Structure 1
């Protein structure tokens, strides 16, 4: 159980938002490295009260501008082809999704050639299927971009010519101030893109701890905070069930027990911390829905 808890912390440390921050702050060389990504221009209503983060709810008749790109990302048969196409579609947030596809393939490429999977039969079967599927979908990606540096350079070079709808200015999702954090969260909510909202909440987690509870104000309970964010991220994106990182955990030697990331994380929360975990998870999700965390029941 202790091993599982530490793996959850590792997962939180390399989650979508922090990965994007890591990639985009490394940059490339020459002109590409000095590019400042252009800001997204969401509806002005999103800035009316950044403390409240009020935005119009997503409706079936008003899909997010990146909805089609998100669908292509989730169903792409080959990520190398997807990345090539997505990089040419900045108005749809294509480069944001290209970055997620690249990182997923980079993680898969780091697996041993023939990982031994052990544990609950249904979880082992699910992990095997996920790894086989991702291995097939990722063919050609690492040959196209052998390193983070080369991918980041290509990303920044492309964005200098035509800014992506989801990649924000400063070249990173991690803002420098609390005020910038509030603005970035509001902007993410205005895009109505669940993956981007999850990434932005993750990257801004340190800036919203004062709204999550006094337990986190002095840097305490960090493990639980990251656990709650890991689950909030997959709940926002809607991919907790069958999350690919569970398969990666199994391939890395963790027993295959769960097929739901939320259940996997919760097993590592101490019994005496369960109430705080649930409350923290709920408050993060409130903020991700454009509500203040101090308004219970909304």
Structure 2
């Protein structure tokens, strides 16, 4: 498909902008506490909808990533600081928002020995202290395969452990920087071995040149490591220097992908053009927990 063909986005990718009181309040709160959100940094298309509904995904460990993935708009470079007060500020913001489900992610911090795992754990603990009934989901980097770092996060007992595969195996080295397809699968497998009752989740974006059968194989690979939740969304090029869009999938195709995922035994599949990893995250937890509990009691 030529660049001219995919300059105009399909009608179903139109984004509704919400700038009401909730949106403004959350934006001001994030600025006043010097907090970052992946909603802004990654230019998420659902930012206005989620913020209007008082939900946000906190991005810890700064806003400079040590990797330069070809699909991601987050700034890349060499981080210069580590803010150990950040977990407390995230917890205060979560409390002010009175969150029922809190999502915490980060940039990749390959400059740190544990990849930032200890800060993830501290943030989980701080949020739980402020909001004991809030479920906490973490979307973690791969920690370069450091199992001790993964264990550090899991010992803090998040409600969901999320790590994104992002794309199919054939395109992984092209789309992602440093991350490896096998390492992702191994991380998800090890997570279940360390903490079998914590649901795992992963996400794939489509439209970067993958084939339909490759998407189905990725689903199969995720189920082999007992991944519980999968999200599937359309890749949107955030700027001219990033990967080109090869194809815009239709809502009907996303519906078929959801059906394929559910047939394979995922407890929940969120699939749609504007779906991102944390989209409607709070609605996915209950199904995953029920599925895991049912499996353990059999």
By the TM > 0.5 criterion, same fold? no
Could you say which structure has the higher helix fraction?
A: 1
TM band (smaller chain) = under 0.3
Name whichever structure is richer in strand by fraction. Answer: 2
Q: Return the TM-score normalized by structure 2.
A: 0.25
More relative contact order in 1 or in 2 (CA 8 Å, sep 6+)? 1
TM-score normalised over the length of structure 1: 0.25
